[in-house]
């Protein structure tokens, strides 16, 4: 064990388990640990590092901003905060729909703000999806379905009903005239990259409108171009009342955003919610650089291209039984429950990937990942499955 990992264990709370690596430097899709070993990062800080590591646009934006104005508190505003709100509204909401933004520091906080906002409808019942993950603050955790995450902290706030993801009949049966909101991840990341059926989001819109409930899309992981569109839900044409963003928005700087559309845009009044750091000039300047770079470099189309190559290449191995996802958010199912062994074999070989279940693997590389990195990973993939002991590889009967 490296000295840094030993010091970590002696000085930080054990909330995450032992770190897999102590990383000290990054460039593009590559990172280096404290022993000088290089890895290709196909997880991107769990879909955060949209532009990879040390991208010149982010370095310039952050360094320029910190030399100019670093923090102002929410008694004041800054040009970067207003510009970012305007850009998000323009990119992610229809032109004929009024929209407003609340900035925070993370996806959990963006969801926490959205949950509080739903209470201002005068209702408290929320319908959420099985296998959903919305964060680990008390409010966002109340919407997260995994019992192992929730139960140590119960009772949690609110009246929540979970329904099977993609089941229109179950959703229609759960939503009533007392329902404040339905919250859906259009592409469930934590659950293993599960895409909502094509008609499901439209059905959810119809059900919520019928009962006067808000429709809330959690795009914390699937947003910011990762799926090849600014939001995963945009391809459906469905316009929600709430959208939550974070992860890729700041390209590594902490920022979350809650977008309210239509009546949800004006539910918050002064004093209803707050944040010390949310929307500060540093995070907003970095997020603007992320948006500029995605547009300038055509990274939405690049996400589609790379994602198709990854899914097609990974599916060629018969030990992969299913490949899912959009753009560079890729989920796959293995023929055996050896996802952790595959992740360990990948790290040993210099690739960083992630297991989301006993047989499920998730990839979320930066949008700037190179063709050589993609080709290298696909070439290595069968050997990683061999090393993890999945049957059917080289030398198997």
Q: Which residues pair with 104 in a beta bridge?
A: 256
pLDDT given for residue 394 in this prediction: 54
Angstrom distance (rounded) from CA 74 to CA 83 = 16
Mean pLDDT to the nearest integer, 232-260 = 97
- On average, the pLDDT of the chain sits at 96
Q: What is the pLDDT of residue 303?
A: 98
Tens of pLDDT, residues 131-144: 999 999 999 999 99
Given the residues 247, 317, 359, 373, the one annotated as active site: 247
Res. 397: pLDDT tops 50: no
**Average pLDDT estimate for 26-36:** 97
All structural domains of the chain, each given as residue ranges with its CATH number in brackets, are: 3-54+298-388 (3.90.1150.10), 58-297 (3.40.640.10)
Reported pTM: 0.96
Residue 222 has pLDDT above 80, yes or no: yes
Verify whether residue 165 is a known catalytic residue: no
* Options 133, 165, 217, 377, the catalytic residue: 133
Is 133 an active-site residue? Answer: yes
Q: Which long-range contacts (CB under 8 A, 24 or more apart) does 55-62 make?
A: 55/28, 55/251, 55/293, 55/368, 57/289, 57/290, 57/292, 57/293, 58/251, 58/252, 58/253, 58/286, 58/289, 58/290, 60/289, 61/285, 61/286, 61/288, 61/289, 62/253, 62/282, 62/285, 62/286, 62/289
Residue 29, pLDDT > 90, answer: yes
Token pair 């293995």: residue: 334
Q: What is the DSSP string of 44-62?
A: HHHHT-TT-BS-HHHHHHH
Question: So what's the pLDDT on residue 115?
Answer: 98
Concerning whether 322 is annotated as a catalytic residue, the answer is: no
Query: Does the annotation place 275 within a ligand binding site?
Result: yes
List 218, 241, 317, 359, catalytic entry: 218
Report the share of the chain in percent with pLDDT over 70.
99
**Is 219 within any annotated ligand binding site?**
yes
Q: What is the pLDDT of residue 191?
A: 87
- Judge whether residue 361 has pLDDT over 70: yes
Per-residue confidence (pLDDT) for residue 392, from 0 to 100: 76
DSSP 8-state assignment for residue 297: T
Contact 110, 257 (CB under 8 A): yes
């Amino acid at each position: 064990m490296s000295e840094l990992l030993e010091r970590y264990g002696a000085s930080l709370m054990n909330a995450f388990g032992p770190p897999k690596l102590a990383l000290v430097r990054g460039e593009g899709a590559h990172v280096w640990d404290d022993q000088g070993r290089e890895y290709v990062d196909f997880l991107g800080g769990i879909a955060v590092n949209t532009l990879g590591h040390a991208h010149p646009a982010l370095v310039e934006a952050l360094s320029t901003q910190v030399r100019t104005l670093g923090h102002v508190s929410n008694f004041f505003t800054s040009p970067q905060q207003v510009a970012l709100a305007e850009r998000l509204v323009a990119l992610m909401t229809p032109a004929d729909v009024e929209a407003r933004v609340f900035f925070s520091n993370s996806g959990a906080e963006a969801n926490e703000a959205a949950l509080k906002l739903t209470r201002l409808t005068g209702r408290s019942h929320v319908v959420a999806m099985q296998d959903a993950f919305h964060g680990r603050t008390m409010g966002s955790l109340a919407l997260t379905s995994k019992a192992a995450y929730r139960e140590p902290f119960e009772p949690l706030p609110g009246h929540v009903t979970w329904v099977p993801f993609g089941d229109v009949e179950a959703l229609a049966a759960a939503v009533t005239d007392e329902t404040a909101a339905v919250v859906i991840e259009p592409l469930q990341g934590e659950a293993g990259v599960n895409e909502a059926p094509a008609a499901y989001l439209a059905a959810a819109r119809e059900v919520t409108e019928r009962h006067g409930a808000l429709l809330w899309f959690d795009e914390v992981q699937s947003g910011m171009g990762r799926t090849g569109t600014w939001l995963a839900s945009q391809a459906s044409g469905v316009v929600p009342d709430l959208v939550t963003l974070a992860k890729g928005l700041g390209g590594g700087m902490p920022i979350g955003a809650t977008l309210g559309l239509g009546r949800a845009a004006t539910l918050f009044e002064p004093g209803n919610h707050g944040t010390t750091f949310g929307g500060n000039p540093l995070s907003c300047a970095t997020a603007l650089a992320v948006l500029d770079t995605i547009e300038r470099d055509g990274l939405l189309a690049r996400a589609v291209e790379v994602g198709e190559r990854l899914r097609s290449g990974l599916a060629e191995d018969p030990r992969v039984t299913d490949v899912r996802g959009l753009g560079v958010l890729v989920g796959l199912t293995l023929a055996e429950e050896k996802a952790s062994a595959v992740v360990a074999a990948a790290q040993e070989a210099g690739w960083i990937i992630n297991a989301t279940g006993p047989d499920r693997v998730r990839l979320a590389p930066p949008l700037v990942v190179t063709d050589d990195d993609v080709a290298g990973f696909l070439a290595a993939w069968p050997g990683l499955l061999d090393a993890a002991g999945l049957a059917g590889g080289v030398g198997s009967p």
